[in-house]
Amino acid sequence: MQLKYLPKIRSPQDIRNYSGRELSELCDEIRQYTIDTVTEIGGHLASTLGAVELTVALHHVFNTPEDKLIWDVGHQAYAHKILTGRVEEIKTIRQYGGLSGFLKRTESEYDVFGAGHASTSISAALGVAIARNQKNENFKVIAVIGDGGLTGGLAFEGLNNSGNLKTQILVVLNDNEMSISPNVGAISKYLTRITTNPIYNRIRDEIWKITESLPWGKSVSKRILHKIDESLKALL
């Protein structure tokens, strides 16, 4: 395929001034480039294809590598590798002498934690955040975890400890209803019930229509809507 954006990207800094349209086109390009590459050499497609927009958004918004982005599953990080200066090397992924199929700290400063499989990102992020605080440094720590990884015991330990220590981290839940296979269990059912509940969706849509017309400005309206949204989720 003819690449428009990827040959110009050496780091996430290169996409931080992109418009919404350019970011959308970049996502399409990353997705097709990943499919073409993995189809030829092998690898894991589903995890990373499901996180392309999320990856682009996180690197667009946060000042990585100063801000620490910690992934929960290495398989979903192909797009992350592409955006962090490894677009050509991605063709060697999982090959002898090539890129690791997972996150690897010795491979890039953007790979903060050597993530392999699931449920580790929250605890790892908490450790990084505690070290940051002890060294009086100032950067953000972001943990990405899927709804499958969230069911692991280590994820609950990380959440419990984070709440107790009141250490500032951001946890991003990528709820796509999948792990290796469709998710089962109470957590999966709870998340699905919230997002598919017709009452919740109807109330949220009506509130959004009302707040859009308020004179406070969209930024204030969005903050209010977010708080109401979280309250509705807790209620349901």
Q: Which CATH superfamily is domain 6-181 in?
A: Thiamin diphosphate (ThDP)-binding fold, Pyr/PP domains (3.40.50.970)
71 falls in which pLDDT band (50, 70, 90)? very high
Choose between 202 and 173: higher pLDDT: 173
Tokens (6 digits) for 2: 């003819």
Q: Are 107 and 59 in contact (CB under 8 A)?
A: no
Q: How many angstroms separate the CA atoms of 147 and 21, rounded? A: 29
Neighbouring residues of 42: CB distance < 8 A, sequence distance ≥ 6: 94
Choose between 226 and 48: higher pLDDT: 48
**Length, in residues, of the chain:** 236
> How high is the pLDDT of residue 42?
84
The domains of the chain are located at: 6-181, 197-236
The string over 194-214, giving b where at least 16 C-beta atoms fall within 10 Å of a residue's C-beta and e elsewhere, is: eeeeeebeebbeebeeebeee
Burial class (CB in 10 A: 0-12, 13-18, 19+), 128: buried
Neighbouring residues of 41: CB distance < 8 A, sequence distance ≥ 6: 91, 92, 93, 94, 95
The reported pTM is: 0.77
Torsion sign (Cα): 72, 76, 79, 84: positive
Q: Are 6 and 33 in contact (CB under 8 A)?
A: yes
Per-residue pLDDT reduced to its tens digit, 129-159? 999 999 999 999 999 998 778 888 888 899 8
The string over 144-159, giving b where at least 16 C-beta atoms fall within 10 Å of a residue's C-beta and e elsewhere, is: bbbbbbbbbeebeebb
Lowest average pLDDT, out of 3-17, 78-92, 141-155, goes to 141-155
- Residue 220 corresponds to which amino acid? V
